[in-house]
Structure 1
Amino acid sequence: MKKISELLDAAAGSALPVVRGIDDSRLGDPTPCAEYDVHALLSHLSQVVVNFTALAARQDADFGETPDAVTGDWRTRFGEETAALVEAWAAPGAEEGTAGSMGFPARTVGHMVLGDLTVHAWDLARATGQEFVPEADVVDEIGPALEGMAPRAREGKMFGEPFPVPEGASPFARVLALTGRDPDWQPPRG
C-alpha cells in the first residue's frame, strides 16, 4: 500500500503543469464543475490544498469563504502549497488516527484531498484545452476510495449524480463519472 504522501506527490506532479499552463485569458472560462469558472476553481483548489495540509498536521481547517488565490504569482504559490501538502502528509503519524473535525480516519481524509487534486486538475485541463493524464497508481487508489465516499458526498452536494459511462470505460473515466462528471465534457464552442 502506497503512502498518501507518495500518491499526493504523483498527483501534484500531474496537476502542476496544468496550473502553470493556464493563460490569464482563460480565467473566466467555464469548467466541468458548473458552479466554478477557471478562476473560482483555482481558488477552491488552493483552499482545499491549504486546508488539507492543516488537517494532516491535526490543525483546524477553514472551508468557509474561499479566498481569491489568483493573485500575485499564483502559479508558483500553488506549487509551494502542493509541496507543503505532500510534506505534511509525509510527516510521521500523518496517516494514523483521525484527522479533521468530522473524525474521519486520516487515510480517508488523505483520499479526499487526493481525489480533489486529481479530479480538479482534470477539470482545469479540460476547461483550458490541456492534456491531463493522472498516474495509474493515483487512479487505482482514488477509485475505490471515492466510491466508498460517494453516497455521503452526494448528500453533501460535493458529488453530482453518477454520469453513465459505457462498459469498458477507463478507470479514470469511471472515477470522473462517479463524481457526476461527463468524462467527454468539452468547453462550449464560440
Structure 2
Amino acid sequence: MDKSDMDTKPADSDPVGELLGVAAERAVPVVRAITDDQLTARTPCADYDVRELVDHLFHVVVQFQALAAKKSADFSHTPDHVGAGADWRERFAEETKQLVAAWSAPGAEEGTTGAMGLPARTVGCMVLLDLTVHVWDLARATGQEYRPDPAATGVLHTLGQAVADMAPTARKMGFFADPVPVPDGASDFERLLAETGRDPGWNRP
C-alpha cells in the first residue's frame, strides 16, 4: 500500500494492545473449537479454506509481533502451522498471547514500522482487523457464533476508521473485495464486514 494512503491515524485512542486483548479473548475459543474434519471447509474469504485461513492468521499473528518491536517481518511464504503438530490450537493461543504482549509494550505504537514505514498504530490496527474479521470467517465456516465484545466499542470504532482509510488501496491490491450492500439497520460490525467485501449473511454450504 502507498504510505500516503495509510497515514491517517484512527480516531479512537484506545491502546492497540488493549484492543488486541479483547479480540484475542473472542478469537482463541473459535480456533480451539475447529475440528480436524472442518479443515477443508470453505470460508467467506474465498481464497482460503479453513486450514489455509488458520495458517494465514497464525502467520500474521507471529509476524506482527516482530512489527510491534520494529523488526522485519517475512510474508514471502506462509508456513504450514496446522501440519506442524497436533497442538496447533494451543500454539495459536500462545502466539496470540505474545501478540498482545508485543503491542502492549512501551513504545509499540510510536514511530513507524515495517518495510513501508507505516505509522506503528496503523500497523497495529491491521493485525487487529485480521484477528477480528478472519476469526469471523472461521466461525462462520465451522458453524460457530462470533461477535466482538459489545462492551469494547473501541474495537469497532478503530476498525471502522482503519478500514475506511485502507479500503481504496486494499481493493487495488486485491486484499479487499468490492463492498457488499447492507440493509438499513445493519450493525456496525456487519457494515465493517461488508466494507471488506464480505457478505454478513454468509452461511456455510
Query: How far apart are 1:140 and its partner, in Å?
Result: 2.0
- Does 2:14 correspond to 1:35? no
Q: CA RMSD in A?
A: 0.8
Q: Aligned equivalents of 2:97 and 2:105: distance in 1?
A: 13
Matches within 5 A, 1:85-96: 85-96=99-110
Q: Which residue of 1 aligns with 2:21?
A: 9
Count of aligned positions? 188
- Give 1:126's aligned amino acid: R
TM-score (norm 2): 0.90
Q: Which residue of 1 aligns with 2:174?
A: 157
Q: Aligned equivalents of 2:122 and 2:40: distance in 1?
A: 33
Same amino acid, percent of matched pairs: 61
Query: How far apart are 1:137 and its partner, in Å?
Result: 2.8
Which runs of no fewer than 5 residues in structure 2 stay unpaired? 1-12
- Give 1:19's aligned amino acid: V
Q: Which residue of 2 aligns with 1:126?
A: 140
From 103, 113, 120, give the equivalent of 1:106: 120
Q: Which residue of 2 aligns with 1:63?
A: 75
- Does 2:88 correspond to 1:82? no
Q: Which residue of 2 aligns with 1:176?
A: 193
Which runs of no fewer than 5 residues in structure 1 stay unpaired? none
Show CA shifts across 1:10-48 (max 9, x none). 001110010001011100000001110000000000011
Instruction: Compare relative contact order (CA 8 Å, sep 6+) and give the higher one, 1 or 2.
Output: 2
- Does 2:183 correspond to 1:166? yes
Q: Aligned equivalents of 1:167 and 1:137: distance in 2?
A: 23
Please identify, of 155-164 and 135-144, the stretch whose mean Cα deviation from structure 2 is larger.
Answer: 135-144
Contact 1:111–1:146 (8 Å) recurs in 2: no
- Give 1:129's aligned amino acid: G
Q: Aligned equivalents of 2:169 and 2:66: distance in 1?
A: 23
Q: Aligned equivalents of 2:175 and 2:58: distance in 1?
A: 16
- Give 1:145's aligned amino acid: A
Q: Aligned equivalents of 2:28 and 2:156: distance in 1?
A: 17
Query: How far apart are 1:143 and its partner, in Å?
Result: 0.8
Query: How far apart are 1:144 and its partner, in Å?
Result: 1.2
Moved over 2 A (4+): none
- Does 2:64 correspond to 1:47? no
Query: How far apart are 1:52 and its partner, in Å?
Result: 0.7
Please identify, of 41-50 and 141-150, the stretch whose mean Cα deviation from structure 2 is larger.
Answer: 141-150
Please identify, of 136-145 and 17-26, the stretch whose mean Cα deviation from structure 2 is larger.
Answer: 136-145
